Amino acid sequence: MRKLAIIGIGQTPVGEHWDQSIREIAGEAVFAAMNDARRETVDGIFIGNMLSGTLVRQEQLGSLISDWVGLKSVEAFKVEAACGSGAAALRLAIMAVGSGEMGCAIAMGVEKMTETKGVETTAALATAADADYEAFQGLSFVAINALIMKRYLHEFGWKHTDFAPFSMNAHANAIHNPFARLQEAITEQDYQRARMIASPINLLDASPIGDGAAALVIVPADQIPALTHPAVLISGSAAATDTLAVHDRKDLVSLAAARKSALIAYAQAGVSPQDIDFFELHDAFSIMSALSLEACGFAERGHGPRLGLEGEIRPDGRIPIATRGGLKARGHPVGATGIYQIVEACQQLRGEAGGTQIEDARIGMAQNIGGSGATIITHILTIH
């Protein structure tokens, strides 16, 4: 397949956007990305979104958003893979431009989640799990992750406190990201005293939801226009699935689809974990940080928390993660998160990451997870 590049990025702050409808939030990100790419038109739009049908009673976002941003009549679809919807939209844009069906495409994600009551949002998020065998039994999304974390603590002998560095790093980095929802530091004591949600997961293990949108402009790498910033090459892109219900997995504490998609992406990019300068992983819960680092070859099985305890995940460490706040502190507008990760990786590669800029960042990785590991999409980006 031909090589592709990201020439424009855009995002809205993650927060509670009471004054904006879903189309307005989406439009803000699309306009920012098109301005950044200096494009006035594109051939199509792929929209990652999980919950618009249930939470804002609006489907067919393709037509809604393309019309709203003045791109009426272009091809546009919504794609859904739970919290992995954002990177799924990027996968489709890659196929669209890679196949020649489109010369230029927008991959974006948008979610509006804060207008509904918490119990409705929790129920809607549970549709990411197996409805017949998990959600129907009353198992919420956080409860599934709690089962996984409990098993992990039991199997490898870590204490809950050992996960504190994941959350502390994310919050420390978010202070330097004006688009982050929680721009405030937390201490180890804050982490230890946080309110319990579903044992052993407490409030500071969990990422906050939010409203937000992020967008990318994709073109073939041989058609990069003159820009005031470097273009970012998509060197690896792969998706894999696992069983939806976690009870069907042979191993509860490893992410098979993360491993598979990362191995394909490494091979495509011709790199190995040692070459990766930073890793925007899917820290919806702190346990997912450990599992992602292990599945992608940055830590041995059961050793993920060690990277946090040794400071290796910080911007000056061996494998910086959540460099702009991650899901934990930038926030998790579920269908948009996968595109936020790519926007942030582009900021690092373009040297625009401000106070958390990784020195000499040349190769970045982003990984977006749908459900509790059921759909996992890995991208490797390099600077042009």
Q: Which of residues 57-86 bind a copy of itself (CB under 8 A)?
A: 57-64, 66-67, 72-82
- Three-state SS string across 9-74, please? EEECCCECCCCCCHHHHHHHHHHHHHHHHCCCCCCEEEEECCCHHHHCCCCCHHHHHHHHCCCCCC
Q: How far is the CB of 296 from a copy of itself (least distance, A)?
A: 16
Which is the catalytic residue, given 17, 171, 282, 332? 332
User: How many residues of this chain interact with a copy of itself, rule: CB under 8 A?
Assistant: 64
184, 248, 251, 316: which one binds a copy of itself (CB under 8 A): 248
Cα–Cα distance list, 159 to 109, 151, 193, 255, 372 (Å): 36, 12, 14, 21, 21
- For 217-274, the DSSP string reads EEEEGGGPPP-SS--EEEEEEEEEE--SSGGG-S-TTS-HHHHHHHHHHHHHHT--GG
Residues 197 and 206: beta-carbon distance below 8 Å: yes
Active-site residue 332, yes or no? yes
Sign of the dihedral through C-alpha 333, 339, 345, 351:
negative
In the block, tokens 């595109």 appear at 339
Strands 212-220 and 105-111, bridge-based pairing: antiparallel
127 binds a copy of itself (CB under 8 A): yes
Q: How far is the CB of 80 from a copy of itself (least distance, A)?
A: 4
Residue-wise burial string across 205-224, b where 16 or more C-beta atoms lie within 10 A, e elsewhere = bbbbbbbbbbbbbbbebeeb
Sign of the dihedral through C-alpha 196, 197, 203, 206:
positive
Single-letter code of the amino acid located at 211: D
Active-site residue 346, yes or no? no
Single-letter code of the amino acid located at 53: G
128 binds a copy of itself (CB under 8 A): yes
d(CA 101, CA 174): 38
Which of 322, 365 has the CB closer to a copy of itself? 365
50 binds a copy of itself (CB under 8 A): yes
Angle between helices 85-98 and 337-350 (to 10 degrees): 70
12, 25, 91, 201: which one binds a copy of itself (CB under 8 A): 91
Which of 102, 172 has the CB closer to a copy of itself? 102
3-state secondary structure of 351: coil
6, 32, 135, 144: which one binds a copy of itself (CB under 8 A): 135
256 binds a copy of itself (CB under 8 A): yes
Cα–Cα distance list, 39 to 7, 32, 36 (Å): 9, 10, 8
Tell me the window of 92-100, 165-173, 185-193, 212-220 that interacts with a copy of itself (CB under 8 A).
Answer: 92-100
51, 90, 170, 246: which one binds a copy of itself (CB under 8 A): 51
Tell me the window of 88-96, 209-217, 222-230, 351-359 that interacts with a copy of itself (CB under 8 A).
Answer: 88-96
Which is the catalytic residue, given 83, 104, 296, 346? 83
260 binds a copy of itself (CB under 8 A): yes
Q: How far is the CB of 18 from a copy of itself (least distance, A)?
A: 14
Q: How far is the CB of 14 from a copy of itself (least distance, A)?
A: 21
131 binds a copy of itself (CB under 8 A): yes
Task: Judge residue 250's burial from the number of C-beta atoms within 10 Å of its C-beta, 0-12 exposed, 13-18 middle, 19 or more buried.
Answer: exposed
Tell me the window of 182-190, 254-262, 295-303, 341-349 that interacts with a copy of itself (CB under 8 A).
Answer: 254-262
Which of 29, 47 has the CB closer to a copy of itself? 47
Print the binding letters for residues 314-333 with a copy of itself: x by CB under 8 A, - otherwise. --------------------
**Interface positions with a copy of itself (CB under 8 A):** 1, 21, 23, 50-54, 56-64, 66-67, 72-82, 88, 91-92, 94-96, 98-101, 123-124, 126-128, 130-132, 135, 238-244, 248, 256-257, 260, 370-371, 374-375
Active site residues: 83, 332
